[in-house]
Chain A
Amino acid sequence: MALLEVKNLKTSFFTDAGEVKAVNDVSFSLDRGKVLGIVGESGSGKSVTAYSIMQILAGTGKIVGGSVKLDGQELVGAGEKVMKNVRGNRISIIFQDPMTSLNPTYTIGKQLMEAILLHTDRNRKQAKERAIEMLRLVNVNEPEKRMKQYPYEFSGGMRQRVMIAMALACEPDILIADEPTTALDVTIQAQILELMGQLQKELGMAIIMITHDLGVVAQICDEVVVMYAGSICEQGTADEIFYNPCHEYTKGLMRSIPTADTAGKRLQPITGTPIDLLNMPKGCPFAPRCDNAMKICIKKCAERMVINEDHAATCWMNVKKSLDSGEIVPDSEGGDDRG
């Protein structure tokens, strides 16, 4: 059984302008000891997916359907009491901005001990020892001295280490990292990613890595979920996604990254602008920006299609490919739609 099973998750924000379907029918599963990457542009619903799993949505947000199962236990509708035990204890989260996610008025030590005291039956002395041990684990020098310092005395990379130490203090089964390195410099980013990979192997936990940086995904993820406009457009192993992308959006993303080969040439960008979630088109959400959009793409969204056992995508182009190669025979209803 998978450690975390997300099925048909739907989360909406009810704003004055109408319902915004931020997460629309998202399903994936995560096994113990694996790193799952969720990639997408801003507004694609990757963070909201994470917040829905943790049930820490902002006021107007609500899970409207689907299920989230942790070790077989249903979390959606399970109530605050259950969730309090899950958050920080079984699933932890690191936020994007290490500058603002620590409380500036408490010492680092106090903030680290808070989580330990809350979730374990250690006394204050043991909690302090544990906090120092955690700081040492994330390579903070002189942890005893650092415990008494305030966040402003830490650099960005150091603060992110503290966040990681805090998240790991209760040995969670799953660590959700929401753009943990976006605010950091590349050299510090490399240190943090290396640290996360090493801790993941040592402690055997699973990581959900939310990022927009395909380089980060390539470096540490086993599996990848690509999101666009609140839905999953493609999911599979990292190798499948990078070397055999089967959704037009993923292909576009891969083409638009500058590499050694593009120097002096034009990049191939994805045209158009990101979608407005309040005015979602009827068909495939990517169709208005897709160069290969067909008639059917505008009419209705494709079903999830299994490419192979490690890979699935939601794109009509795969159906077209199979039709062209004669792998499948068109049925009477769908056949004349394709143009």
Chain B
Amino acid sequence: MTVADKQPLIEVKNLKEYFNINTGWFRTKPLKAVDDVSFTIEKGETLGLVGESGCGKTTVGRTLLHLYKPTGGEIFYDGKPVKTRSEIKEYRKKATMVFQDPYSSLNPRMTVSDIIGEPLDVHKLCSSKAERRDRILELMSYVGLNSEHASRYAHEFSGGQRQRIGIARSLAVNPDFIVCDEPVSALDVSIQAQVINMFDELQEKLGLTYLFIAHDLLVVRHISDRIAVMYLGKMVELAPAAEIYDNPLHPYSQSLLSAVPIPDPKIARANQRIALTGDIPSPLNAPSGCPFRTRCKYATEKCAEATPEFKEVSTGHFVACHRVDEINA
């Protein structure tokens, strides 16, 4: 979905999010959940964000919406900075979120129409009760729910339908940008495809821009225009979706992509996996220099000394690796 004008809708510069963790009596240590991440998202585009659990991908999504106050860095929406209280309030009418778990992100005491109507009330978007009701029914029809569902409670729905309610809620303020945080990972395979299609259809119909966070790499490849790979709070690679799958340049992306089980027995048996040893280090004791060096088979002394720069190696393909040219030569 390439759009003619290339004014980025979202621009993130050097975003940092540190959490202070208690390590003893009156002693705290910063946990660098997101450390110096910069990227842009074009209008109408879907940026996929992948990585292992604990790499900071959800924190990027939440900080991007100012659900966490950024420790450092800047966020621009449509060229305008988002920093002060009034800017954030305006921004939240344009940028919303769909959460991972459709079982815990809906209030069990509220009916579907109240859940979907809450953002309308908060931002005072409807002047009359009739207008509010019509808007709710319109939103429900967007996500394939019937009007008779409006007075029911969340527990009466299956997982896929609950996720539809969550999506309708995020559409209520008529946003341009939605952060989708693992929106299909709690759903069964047969339902997953329905919801993914709905994201596609809504994007076409309403001209939405997505940040799609997921750990299922097959789903991300399907839905994304560009994909960013994160490791230990840092972005290690960013490229167009097809490019990153056909030609991953960072050693971490290479092993991550080779680990994806492919649903085809002949390919799966022939697939040569690039094995990663060990576990992801604790972000409290992140390695110096390149965060991936402790598990990287190409690591040299230089990787321990300096943090690699996130640089463009070919058009639109960014990699943070000292030895990117040697490895892929």
Contacts and interface: CB of A to CB of B under 8 A. Distances in A.
Interface string B187-206: 01111111011001000000
Given A213-B261, A218-B264, A258 B221 contact: yes
A253 B215 contact: no
B262 interface: yes
Nearest to B267: A218
Contact of B261 (A155, A215, A263): A215
Contact of A212 (B188, B218, B261, B264): B188
Nearest to A258: B222
A253 B221 contact: no
A21 B70 CA distance: 52
Contacts of B160: 273
A263 B218 CA distance: 10
A262 B262 CA distance: 14
A186 B217 contact: yes
Nearest to A239: B265
A307 interface: no
Interface size class of A (residues with CB under 8 A): 35 or more
Nearest to A271: B194
Contacts of B255: 187
Contacts of B221: 258, 260, 263
B279 A266 contact: no
B161 interface: yes
B215 A185 contact: yes
Interface stretch (A71-79, A190-198, A311-319): A190-198
Interface of B is mostly: helix
Nearest to A220: B268
A214 B189 contact: yes
Contacts of A190: 258-259, 261, 273, 275
B122 to A, nearest CB: 31
A242 B279 contact: no
Given A212-B188, A270-B190, A218 B268 contact: yes
Contacts, number: 125
Nearest to A213: B261
Identify the interface centre among B217, B245, B261, B262: most chain A CB within 10 Å of its CB.
Answer: B261
B24 interface: no
A291 to B, nearest CB: 13
Interface residues of B, number: 45
B215 A186 contact: yes
B313 interface: no
Interface in B42-71: 52-53
B276 interface: yes
Contact of A257 (B200, B258, B263): B263
Given A271-B194, A273-B160, A41 B263 contact: no
B219 interface: yes
B190 A256 contact: yes
A260 B263 CA distance: 11
Identify the interface centre among A185, A252, A254: most chain B CB within 10 Å of its CB.
Answer: A185
A69 to B, nearest CB: 29
B273 A194 contact: yes
B189 A41 contact: yes
Nearest to A181: B261
A327 B108 CA distance: 56
A309 B53 CA distance: 43
Interface of B: 52-53, 158, 160-161, 188-194, 196-197, 200, 215, 217-219, 221-223, 241-242, 245, 255-256, 258-269, 271, 273, 275-276, 279-280
